[in-house]
Structure 1
Amino acid sequence: MRKAAISAGAVLLLVLLAVLLAGLWVQRALTAAGFEQLHWQQLRWSEGAVQVKQLNGVNVSEQGRLDFRLDGVRLRPVWDGGPRIDQLVVDELQLVWEPRDNLPPSEPTDDWSLPELDHFAGPLSWLPRELEVRHMQLQLPCEGEFCVLQGGFQLTTDQQPLALVAQLYLQADEQSLSGSLQLHEESGGYRLLAGLDLPQSLHLLGLGQLSGKVRVDLENRGSQWLLREGQADARLLQPQLDALAVLPPELRPSALMVWITPQASSLNTWRESISFAMQLQIEGAVAGQVDAQLALNHLPHWQVQLHAGRLQLNADKLELEGMQLQTVQLDWPFQAEADQNQLNLLLNEGALLTTKSLSLTDACLQLSDLRADLSKATLNLPFSAPDQLKLEAPLQLGASRLTHAALKPQGWNLSGRLQHSSSGLMLNGSLAALSGLNTDLQLNWPTGEAWRLDMTLREIFLRAADPLAATFADWPALLSFSSGRISSTLQASGRSGLDRIKGQLELTGGQGIYDRASFSGLSLPLTVSLQGKMLQLSTDALNLSALDPGLPLGPLRASGTYTAQLSKPSSGALELRSASLGVLDGRVLLEPARVDMGQARQTLVAVVEGVELARLFEVYPAEGLSGQGTLDGRFPISLANGKLQIDDGRLQAREPGVLRYQAQQLRDLAATNPGMEQLALALDNFHYQVLASDLSYDEQGVLVLGLRLEGSNPAFQQGRPVHLNIRLEEDIPALLTSLQLSGQVSEIIRKRVEQYYLQRRSP
């Protein structure tokens, strides 16, 4: 009896020792697998089972930290056919998961492959015939707190042949999560069916509100896995993905839905490839979808090939910083390749971006029916060096209507090639308006430096059409060209915005009409400069061969510089260096001066040199009036609200000359008036020693001359000296109108003159 008691005690001691050793082995195995801070309470053998009142610890990995706690653990072994676990029951399991932020990327493992299930035959044989977690609690980080899911887990296994069925169910309020797994051994292999369902959204920190389901049916034969069927659907509300943080808030989606359907019977050895279709649907202010066929390859390195891709986006209205868009649509067919080193993307033919309206508030610019074609654009992105991104895009950009205060509304088109790399951004192309204005562009923006835009205006030949008049809103309506050539080059530069513009514009051979005057032989080299908000226009050689407002004038020569604020271009200052106009074989010069165009009145001083009376009387329509002499003078000119005025002007003949007034009207008056008879005889051949005149010109266009004549007629009273004071008034606009209507002028000038004449006659 005593011997039996000793034997029973020895067996009990061996069992307890085995349990202790098994516990130590389990602890070391778990520690090697990353489990830390392992503690248990009340480990004992009772009722044919190993029982642990409580087991807790922590598992730490690169992905984060998992705290676990098991209460009421009962492990019942069986000894028939060798030791194995018959039943494992856990009354309560608590899991707390905390992901680690800013994890370093793990190195890819090129030789990774799906496992051969034959290698797991041994470990699978140790699975309990029955495993049950009666109460399971899972805590996941949500926004500002933890989400708690509660449920249970069950597992049943058979060993000959191997058959495994597992069920997981978790729930929190209206949210639930269920998963299933079936594994059974077939002739020469295994069959694996697995599924996961999350019908209601679960808010996960750093991800969003996730719902969806996954189904997979796999057949394993050694190292080969045959995908019999598969499907993955997921919906993410209010996504919080880091990749979306770079987008402006207005462009971030409110929901993402993805569907992944592997190609049936796709052989996946991870040494060949697996193909599947993917569809991503986007909801939000910008909505749309991405469709693509993908192939995953493993050798020699993992690769992704994407075919028949199509990105489609649309938005009714977008308001970005300084920009408003209406009815935006994007349709990009594309294909791509990616591996562990880089991404290569190609946009196929028909890659379009359109918008009904685009407004730039700061630039006061609006584009209608904008269409951008980026077909054949390519993108290369090295993952290890994103700053080495390379982009090349043939660019076709057009708008049916461009509206800006400085331009006439019409269509514009930009075509060229855009390139971006680590060295910077480059654009070569041309900008054209429907008016016929064409400009070649070259943009160079080195990384970290100021950008520069070179613009070369294609030569404009001013014949029947005038693209400048058809392009610029402030182009003078009464200015038209019949011939001429314009060329121009400009350079613009800046950093964050436009800092400076400089360049040259040249007009040669200009001929045409301005208001009621024709001109020819116009040459204008112009230097343009914009520094900050200051605009400067300068010329050293303005030349005009002939100007005819009814009186032949010319040549005209001038030089000067005009400076103004860009916001007030018509209120600047003119530095007049020189100006002269040929008049009646003489000339009129303006003295150098600074003229402030922002003031209501501007004043200049005009100097008359060498005007010939003989030429004056040739063009002045006064019957019987002729003479010889040369006039000089000086008079101030004022421009008051755009109207010419002259006060206290002076004219003086250089030397003695001759005046003859032999009009029939004067003879008729002399026949009835003795006084007029004496005047007619004196003026018939008047040799003057003094010819001087005061001169004034008012805003209504009336010229007043106060003539003073001193001289004699050798045939009148033996050359007796005669002094005459004569006041003459002439309506100059009416005189010029008369001269134009009586001369050979173009039909355009005739119509303008007649219109002007009718306006002056109207009360």
Structure 2
Amino acid sequence: MIPRGRFPWRSLIILLACLLWLPSASALDWSFLLQQGRMGIALPDIETTDWRVTGIRAEVVNSVEADNQAVIVRFKPGSRLTAATLAQNAGDSSVFLNNVQLDLTDVTVTINLGGVEALVDRTAVAGQVTIEIENLQHPSLKPQGWRFDGRVSGAVSDLSLEGQLRSDSGLLAEVVLRNRTGEFMAGRVAMAMAAEQAGTAIADTLAQWPPLLTLNHGQLEAAASFRQEPDAPLALDARLNLAGVNGVFDRTAFSDMSGRLLFSLEDETLAARLRDITIAQINSGIGIGPVRLLADYRAPAAEPLTGQLEIQQATAEFLNGRLRVAPQSFDLANHPVNVPLDVYELSLERLLEVYPAEGFEGTGRLNGRIPLIISGTSVEVEQGTMAAIVPGGRLRLPGERLQAMLGGSQAVDLVVQALQNFHYSVLDSTIDYDKNGKLMLGLRLEGQSPGVRGGQPVVLNINLEEDIPALLTSLQLSGRVNEAVTERVRERLQQSGQEAKP
């Protein structure tokens, strides 16, 4: 038995090498015990086709127990393997790790001397490990530190790692990894966090997280499994569960979002599925909701935005009526994308209530179709139509506001007088909306007004224009969304030198 203290490690390494490679070693009757040894050594850099590791150093405190059956190395506190840098050259997906430290405390390595398998199959590793990365850089991530605490187990040729991964930003995930040398690497990552905490942590982790998206309520659960085999594309399955999530995206608030988003990557094809997605309300100034979505999407992994979107359900309540996109498929590779939006039983009374003009009143319900033309970030409408449901209704519009909107002439005076109390049987409208935000309505009204021409039938044709971005800004400043949206609008107006008036 070797006493405590320093030990001639060069001699020990030579001895172990002989034991591992001499076929007759397991037939000899011998034993060896080192209660505690210390070793500090700088190792040469390692460079392969894909990786380069520099500044490698080992600080080891351990005990060694060996006989003709096995060699057992137990690492003790103070055992640490460090590398100044690890760099992978993978083109657009290159990875750079700075100051990596592997704490080997409580790890045991067992080498079976009696087997006939390869050394990596006869060498087993087990114990708790801690891996710290001072700074990790990747194109899809924001540079920051990471820490893994968990357990390693298995043969060197079939190694498993299981534990908890945490970023400096607070992102927390449970991780399971398995690597079979020459066969596959597989793993699973899962996290469950409050939406507000997760939103902040993810925003500080992902480079492409939308900067104007914030989450402030609800729960997020995410999990992803992957498998990588030699000379084969990555296979991935992931899911995101949402429960009662509230938040703000740019100048739009959403509340009580729930449901499942399922993703997969196989044979270089990306697939996404929206299941049971519900949103209580989406509000950019006028609330829409509840919203219900059910859809599938498939695209080439190399061009994820050029796939096929298949909608099974897309409905929303709006102004006491209903919006619907009928089940159909859309080819997102061909722009523009035409999306016909059907409108059912929209309440004219409710529409005039939310319009930011006092004194506008009306009754009746409207049906119609609004063909949305989506190209890039712009949305347009060409030749949309809306029509009142029989038997029609009534309009009461204040004369002063109408005069300001329509101008002054004898014909306009008649329209203004009639619309102060107009009983209509026909209300037809054409709808056009350009990419600059200008809404153009062509109204045709048929009916009568008791105070005009003795109640005789009157036909009115009116053309109206509305600046929708300005209208929404007015609604957002009036506090009809939430304070976060109102504050964002105020900041933008101040930056542009405009005055923030509701």
State if a TM-score over 0.5 links the two structures: yes
Return closer, same or farther for 1:310/1:738 CA change in 2, 3 Å cut-off.
same
Deviations 1:290-338 (A, max 9, x none): 799xxxxxxx932233354334333575422311223222222222133
Query: Is residue 82 of structure 2 the alignment partner of residue 354 of structure 1?
Result: yes
Query: Is residue 60 of structure 2 the alignment partner of residue 325 of structure 1?
Result: no
Among 370, 374, 385, which residue is 1:635 paired with? 370
The one-letter code matched in structure 2 to 1:581 is A
Matches of 2:64 and 2:497, distance apart in 1: 77
Q: Which residue of 2 aligns with 1:303?
A: 31
Contact in 2 for aligned 1:479/1:515 (Cα 8 Å)? yes
Q: Which residue of 1 aligns with 2:95?
A: 365
SS in 1 for 2:356: coil
Among 202, 214, 224, which residue is 1:468 paired with? 202
Contact in 1 for aligned 2:233/2:266 (Cα 8 Å)? no
Contact in 1 for aligned 2:415/2:460 (Cα 8 Å)? no
Q: Which residue of 2 aligns with 1:701?
A: 437
- Looking at secondary structure, tell me which structure has more strand per residue: 1
Return closer, same or farther for 1:365/1:495 CA change in 2, 3 Å cut-off.
same
Q: CA deviation at 1:273?
A: 9.2
Deviations 1:656-694 (A, max 9, x none): 211112233557999x96554433332221111111111
Q: CA deviation at 1:515?
A: 0.8
Matches of 1:437 and 1:379, distance apart in 2: 32
Matches of 1:709 and 1:459, distance apart in 2: 55
Q: Which residue of 1 aligns with 2:8?
A: 278
Matches of 1:353 and 1:755, distance apart in 2: 50
Matches of 2:111 and 2:197, distance apart in 1: 51
Matches of 2:135 and 2:2, distance apart in 1: 50
Q: CA deviation at 1:533?
A: 2.2
Alignment of 1:616-631 (within 5 A): 616-631=351-366
Matches of 1:524 and 1:587, distance apart in 2: 21
Matches of 1:503 and 1:489, distance apart in 2: 6
SS in 1 for 2:10: strand
Deviations 1:574-611 (A, max 9, x none): 22222122211112212233333344422211111111
Return closer, same or farther for 1:531/1:481 CA change in 2, 3 Å cut-off.
same
Of all paired residues, the percent bearing the same amino acid is: 31
Q: Larger deviation: 305-314 or 556-565?
A: 305-314
Q: Which residue of 2 aligns with 1:430?
A: 164
Q: CA deviation at 1:552?
A: 1.9
Query: Is residue 473 of structure 2 the alignment partner of residue 737 of structure 1?
Result: yes
Matches of 1:669 and 1:567, distance apart in 2: 51
Contact in 1 for aligned 2:164/2:175 (Cα 8 Å)? yes
Query: Is residue 112 of structure 2 the alignment partner of residue 382 of structure 1?
Result: yes
Matches of 1:352 and 1:274, distance apart in 2: 23
Tell me which structure has the larger Cα radius of gyration: 1
Q: Which residue of 2 aligns with 1:644?
A: 379
Q: CA deviation at 1:748?
A: 2.9
Among 371, 390, 400, which residue is 2:134 paired with? 400
The one-letter code matched in structure 2 to 1:659 is L
Return closer, same or farther for 1:568/1:682 CA change in 2, 3 Å cut-off.
same
Q: CA deviation at 1:357?
A: 1.8
Q: CA deviation at 1:435?
A: 2.2
Query: Is residue 254 of structure 2 the alignment partner of residue 519 of structure 1?
Result: yes
Contact in 2 for aligned 1:510/1:523 (Cα 8 Å)? yes
SS in 1 for 2:454: helix
The one-letter code matched in structure 2 to 1:754 is R
Return closer, same or farther for 1:688/1:432 CA change in 2, 3 Å cut-off.
same
Matches of 2:338 and 2:405, distance apart in 1: 43
Q: Which residue of 2 aligns with 1:612?
A: 347
What TM-score results when the alignment is normalised by the length of structure 1?
0.58
Matches of 2:420 and 2:34, distance apart in 1: 104
Matches of 1:327 and 1:658, distance apart in 2: 82
Return closer, same or farther for 1:463/1:422 CA change in 2, 3 Å cut-off.
closer
Matches of 2:38 and 2:177, distance apart in 1: 31
SS in 2 for 1:754: helix
Question: Which structure is higher in RCO with an 8 Å CA cutoff and minimum separation 6?
Answer: 2
Q: CA deviation at 1:625?
A: 2.1
Q: CA deviation at 1:499?
A: 3.9
Alignment of 1:676-755 (within 5 A): 676-755=412-491
Matches of 2:148 and 2:405, distance apart in 1: 75
What TM-score results when the alignment is normalised by the length of structure 2?
0.86
Q: Which residue of 2 aligns with 1:338?
A: 66
Alignment of 1:545-694 (within 5 A): 545-655=280-390, 656-665=392-401, 675-694=411-430
Q: CA deviation at 1:412?
A: 1.2
